[in-house]
Amino acid sequence: MNKPLSWIPTLYVGESLPFAAVMLMSLVLYQEMGLTDTQITLYTGWLGLPWVIKPLWSPIVDGIRTKRWWILSMQLLIGAALALLAFTLPTDLWLQCSLALFMLIAFSSATHDICADGFYILALDNKDQELYVGLRNTFYRIGMVLGQGGLVMLAGLLQKSEVSIPLSWSVTFLAVAGLMLMLAAYHWKALPKPTSDSPKGENHNVLEDFSLTLKVFFTKPYLLTALLFILLFRLPEGLLTKIVPLFLKRTIEEGGLALSDVQYGFVYGTLGVIGLLGGGIVGGWLVSKYGLKKMLWPLVLAITLPDIVYVWLSFTQTQSLPLIATCVFIEQIGYGLGFTAYTLYLVSFSHGERSTSVFSFCTAFQYLGGVMLPGMVSGWLSDQIGGYQPFFIVVMGFCLVTFAVTALVKIPEENDKVKK
């Protein structure tokens, strides 16, 4: 017990499951419960706020209790909140209760992310951190497949058995709650107790620590072009993230592809995530071999040009599941390739003083500009311009923004190669 292989996979499944529940499963839930695209994207966009602002309270978490204590506490809280969510869905106040509980889960999950990533560093030496990084990333994606793939399929299978929509989702979220509570019970025994995992204590000045990080971040070279790149690079994908699941699920009459939950869970929640993971692995290998500067533009084209598959799908509304699956798989591979380059640029930009804290600010800004804000307005934009067909064409137009910020960004020569 306490060997890395006994806790790293389960820790990162526990990190991705709540995120999948709040940001991905909620889309399908709200669509089936009758909300419009504008409502769904606005509400679920706000749910991403905790992941944007989590650097604000990470120093406080560091100063109170151990990271191990926080991990176990958040897993218990998330499990309890998911169970409560399951019991509220069949009631008249399902929308208000679900939004409040999803927000609680989101804050708990963001706190869990802070502590899980910090615990990984504290519990392993440098050699083991490098050795197991692929394992942790793989099991994070497995948690995503389980959440937006397997569990959405469970809801669909229950509905095929003539279980009502609210009850099918109640059972599904009870299953997620059970998984989180079992993970908490397992981790109580499995997580090691490294001596370095201790709170920073009363002498830890949170405000001073935060202000120093801000100073380092805002005095970085090429800050303006870096901020533009961080905020706007993922704009097309940010618009697609919320709309594509709704497009795949909406009826033919509504302009969608009318996939069932089982088909959606397989195509988008399983094959799509596998494509994303595969693209990320290949992208990392390409950058490690040829350097970020040389591979930047090929990977930028990989994340933007495949978006055109949704233009084709929206015009043809094909009912061929293999064709739909192929299109989604290709687009997600491209997303994985391009997102690798983007992530490695953030790592490159963060090099130097207080690199970990600076990187947390980078990820907060990228989530704000590349996921939360575009996602919030994507439903409204789609409704305003006449549906999915013109929306996907507009998204292709926004790829020019990605090209523009890529042309402006500077990559220092000393940070061009990925070091082991």
Class of residue 414 by CB neighbours under 10 A (exposed 0-12, middle 13-18, buried 19+): exposed
Given a cut of 90, whether residue 125 has pLDDT beyond it is no
Q: Can you tell me the mean pLDDT for 402-414?
A: 83
Look at 197 and 271; give whichever has higher pLDDT.
Answer: 271
Given a cut of 70, whether residue 166 has pLDDT beyond it is yes
36-62, pLDDT tens digit by residue? 999 999 999 999 999 988 888 877 777
- Dihedral angle of Cα 244, 246, 250, 254, to the nearest 10 degrees: -80
Look at 133 and 382; give whichever has higher pLDDT.
Answer: 382
Q: 30, 44 in Cβ contact below 8 A?
A: yes
Contacts of 411 (CB under 8 A, 6+ apart): 292, 293, 296, 345, 348
Q: Can you tell me the mean pLDDT for 250-255?
A: 94
- 3 state DSSP class of 353: coil
- Calpha distance 332→271 (Å, rounded): 9
Fill in the amino acid letter for 307.
Answer: D
203 pLDDT tier (thresholds 50, 70, 90): low
294-338, pLDDT tens digit by residue? 888 999 999 999 999 999 999 999 999 999 999 999 999 999 898
Show the tokens assigned to 250.
């909406």
Domains of the chain (ranges, CATH numbers): 1-190 (1.20.1250.20), 203-420 (1.20.1250.20)
**Whose structure tokens read 């969608």?**
256
- Calpha distance 230→201 (Å, rounded): 34
- Calpha distance 325→338 (Å, rounded): 20
Sign of the alpha-carbon torsion through 296, 301, 304, 306: negative
Q: 100, 26 in Cβ contact below 8 A?
A: no
Look at 65 and 419; give whichever has higher pLDDT.
Answer: 65
**Whose structure tokens read 């942790």?**
136
Look at 415 and 155; give whichever has higher pLDDT.
Answer: 155
Q: Can you tell me the mean pLDDT for 100-111?
A: 95
Q: Give the DSSP letter of residue 238.
A: H
Q: For residue 90, report the phi and psi dihedrals to the nearest 5 degrees.
A: -80, 5
At residue 133, the pLDDT reads: 72
Q: Can you tell me the mean pLDDT for 138-151?
A: 88
Q: Can you tell me the mean pLDDT for 119-135?
A: 77
At residue 206, the pLDDT reads: 64
Cα of 381 vs its chain's centroid, Å: 22
Sign of the alpha-carbon torsion through 241, 245, 251, 252: positive
Q: Give the DSSP letter of residue 419.
A: P
Fill in the amino acid letter for 111.
Answer: T
Q: Can you tell me the mean pLDDT for 185-209?
A: 77
- Calpha distance 388→195 (Å, rounded): 54
Q: Residue 387's closest CA among 246, 260, 263, 265?
A: 246
Number of C-beta neighbours around residue 410 at 10 A: 11
At residue 253, the pLDDT reads: 94
Given a cut of 90, whether residue 108 has pLDDT beyond it is yes
H/E segment holding residue 220 = none
Q: 240, 375 in Cβ contact below 8 A?
A: no
Q: What is the average pLDDT value for the chain, to the nearest integer?
A: 88
Q: What percent of the chain has pLDDT over 90?
A: 58
CA 414, 419, 420 angle in degrees (round to 5)? 165
Q: Give the DSSP letter of residue 418.
A: P
Show the tokens assigned to 106.
């989101």
Given a cut of 50, whether residue 420 has pLDDT beyond it is no
Q: Can you tell me the mean pLDDT for 83-90?
A: 95
